[in-house]
Structure 1
Amino acid sequence: MRPAPILIFLASLAGAAMADTKWGGPAPKDDRMSLDPLPECWQECFNEGNKLSKPWDVNTISKRDFCEDKYFAVSYWRGYTLNPCTAKKCPNKEVHNTARKWYREMCEPYLGDDL
């Protein structure tokens, strides 16, 4: 596959996400995702990758927007930024189990059986 179609596809996703100004915008404090339960190496990777997460911010995005990932922006960011970082910085398998548990507990109300 040529790179041009992939770039066009990604640009269209980014454009769609930016067009919906409510998605990914700052959420009320009680609805924001909390990184506190995550192991330190995961928190570091979230914060390092945060610079690349536009149009949203890991410190202010709502749990619903992060979990439902309406425009696949979070999945793309997770696959190309967060996962490589945690694979390198978090060698302990138990740390990844803790992160999985955090994600499941946070996202279950929004995704239910789709987890």
Structure 2
Amino acid sequence: MKKFLLFLAALVALAVLLANLGPMILLGVSVWLLYIVFKQFMKSDSTAGKIGWVILGLIILSIAVSNIYAVIGLAAAYAIYLIVKNWTGRDKEPAVTQSNDPFTNFEKQWSELNNS
């Protein structure tokens, strides 16, 4: 039953992810363009050039803010990651192996001495 519920949750998260794929792409492109505009703004020496880059940056920023729903798609992608992680059971830590370093296993050896 647990795997069935995980499967249903994964299907819902996949549908949400696919529905928000367009805004996710536009948000990524607009953030990249904002980075480029900022770099060009810093390179510009003239006041008119800086004003032009600020206006262009504000236009691109408005596009980025309008695609804020892409965060829901990112949350759905993270939910799919967690579901797959629970499905395969890979969240268990590997067993700690004994090494030759005396400081690595000091706590374990100390507890063995106290229990003896």
What TM-score do the two structures reach when normalised by structure 2? 0.29
Larger C-alpha radius of gyration, 1 or 2? 2
Structure with the larger helix share: 2
TM-score, scaled to structure 1:
0.29
